[in-house]
Amino acid sequence: MRRHLVLFALGAAAVGFARDARAQGFQVNEHGTCAMARGGAGVAKPCADGSGMFYNPAGLIGRNGWTVSAGITVIQAGGGFTDDLTANTTDLTNSAIPVPHLFVQYAKDKYAAGLGVFVPYGLGTNWPQTFDGAFAGYDNALRNIYVQPTASFRPHPKVTLGAGFDFVLGHVKLTQLVDLSENVVPNPLLPPGTTFGQLGVPPLTPFANGELVGNGTGIGGHFGVVVEPVSRVRLGARYMTAVKVDYDGEVDFEPYPTGITLTSGNPFGVPAGTALDDVVAGAFVVGPLLDQGGGASITLPDQLTAGVAFDLTSALTVMVDYSWVHWALFDTLQVNFDDASLSGTTIENYENTHGVRVGLDWAATPKAAVRAGYIYHTGAAPAAVVTPLLPEGDRNEFTIGFGYAVSARFRFDAAYQYLKQQDRRGRTGEFPSGVVPDLTLNNGLYAFNAHLFGLTLTAGF
């Protein structure tokens, strides 16, 4: 469990589960349906629904009065792992997951303030227990809620500034199987370090189910600027700081039946017909599989986005954004458990990611808008650390959506997004603590895709 407390502490999700690894590293960028339909572009011209609290804190000034928007993105992820040796494919078993968002703001003339709840990072995967990768994690989820009070100010007619304070509430869950064959036999008559595998127990024999649950908090900041150098052209940039999250967790171990019955002359000195489960039962009482606590301090990476918006006509806007995320911060991680033998350092060597987002927003009528977008970004995980927990890589994404004002006060926006990831070689096994990962454990090909459906309702008063 050591490695995975650390790995999952990096993730974040919304007010609910975000059970798909669906962006650069653990990054999530869909925090409002209007922006989602634009491909997440718009740092220079955020949507007028309060979602600028994420896309650019300087983008809240515009419509005077109260604006409240609430919505949901439903995510259906798919994909699987094809084993090199057997050519068998194991499919992800992710259910469709709703991820909500909420923004409340008040603006008057050149001032604005608001409160947003959004999800800058997220992760979650579900695999069958029969999958070899279940020993790395098969039921995994994260909830890290960013709550951001935000303020905007226009000191000059062509310049707007904004800033927010991020308070992070984190929760992480990992469920995995424990392999008996890799564990040392508790028998003083055998040579020290003898494992069950050396005595004939087949590799990948589960004998325990471990569930790790952790919670943590952190604080950070978010800053933005919008400049209009000439008519119809806006430039924008935003920077969200890194956030250190201190996690405290607990691990609960439960026996998992092996179904193995020992024969006569077995090395454990027990009568023929004895269940192997009875031999290893002590590990849950006095051994390393006692329920216990653990903790780690994780830094969620900072990110920078810059872009431009062109009003080609009074009704049609084209937006182009570039984004950078400082994933190189995820280099080596230390986690500590009550049982010191489980503590150690994991080497990840993540890489910074880069992305380009292009969006179109067309006000087809005074009440209706049509939007579309395209996204390309690189993956954060090097080839040696692509695992069942985060089988991510370079991705292309396509979006489309529309908005409609049902009255002077109420509006709704809807969007669809398709994510296609390039197939990525990876592994299902684990490297020991402190060992630099290489390609020797890569044993198959990961495929991943997702369909996203968004709906947001916005009210102005």
- Report DSSP letters for 13-58, one per residue: --SS---S--SSTTB----SHHHHHTTT--SSS--TTSTHHHH-GG
State the pairing for strand pair 442-460/233-240. Answer: unpaired
Instruction: Report pLDDT for 168.
Output: 93
For the stretch 135-184, pLDDT in tens is: 888 888 777 789 999 999 999 999 999 999 999 988 888 888 999 998 88
DSSP state of 301: P
The whole-angstrom separation of Cα 69 and Cα 89 is: 42
Instruction: Report pLDDT for 26.
Output: 54
For the stretch 367-415, pLDDT in tens is: 999 999 999 999 888 888 888 877 788 999 999 999 999 999 999 999 9
State the pairing for strand pair 424-427/206-230. Answer: unpaired
Residue 225: both structure tokens together: 């600027």
DSSP state of 367: S
For the stretch 407-436, pLDDT in tens is: 999 999 999 999 999 999 999 887 877 788
Whether pLDDT at 441 is above 60: yes
DSSP state of 232: T
Exposed / middle / buried, residue 347 (Cβ in 10 Å: 0-12, 13-18, 19+): middle
Whether pLDDT at 25 is above 80: no
For the stretch 81-91, pLDDT in tens is: 999 999 999 99
The whole-angstrom separation of Cα 152 and Cα 376 is: 30
Higher pLDDT, 1 or 117: 117
Q: How many CB atoms lie within 10 A of CB 344?
A: 17
- Structural domains of the chain, with CATH: 2-460 (2.40.160.60)
Q: What percent of the chain has pLDDT over 70?
A: 94
Residue 443: left (phi > 0), alpha (psi -120 to 50), or beta? alpha
Decide: 187 and 90 in contact? Cβ < 8 Å: no
Decide: 148 and 61 in contact? Cβ < 8 Å: no
pTM for this predicted structure: 0.85
State the pairing for strand pair 124-126/410-421. Answer: unpaired
Whether pLDDT at 345 is above 80: no
Helices (H) and strands (E) in the chain, counts: 4, 21
Residue 257: both structure tokens together: 């039946």
For the stretch 192-247, pLDDT in tens is: 889 899 988 999 999 999 888 889 999 999 999 999 999 999 999 999 999 988 88
State the pairing for strand pair 159-179/124-126. Answer: unpaired
> Which backbone phi and psi does 58 adopt, to 5 degrees?
-80, -5
Element (H, E) at 6: helix 2-9
Q: How far is CA 416 from CA 32, 38, 90, 422, in A?
A: 12, 10, 27, 20
Instruction: Report pLDDT for 27.
Output: 63
Binned at pLDDT 50, 70 and 90, residue 257 comes out as very high
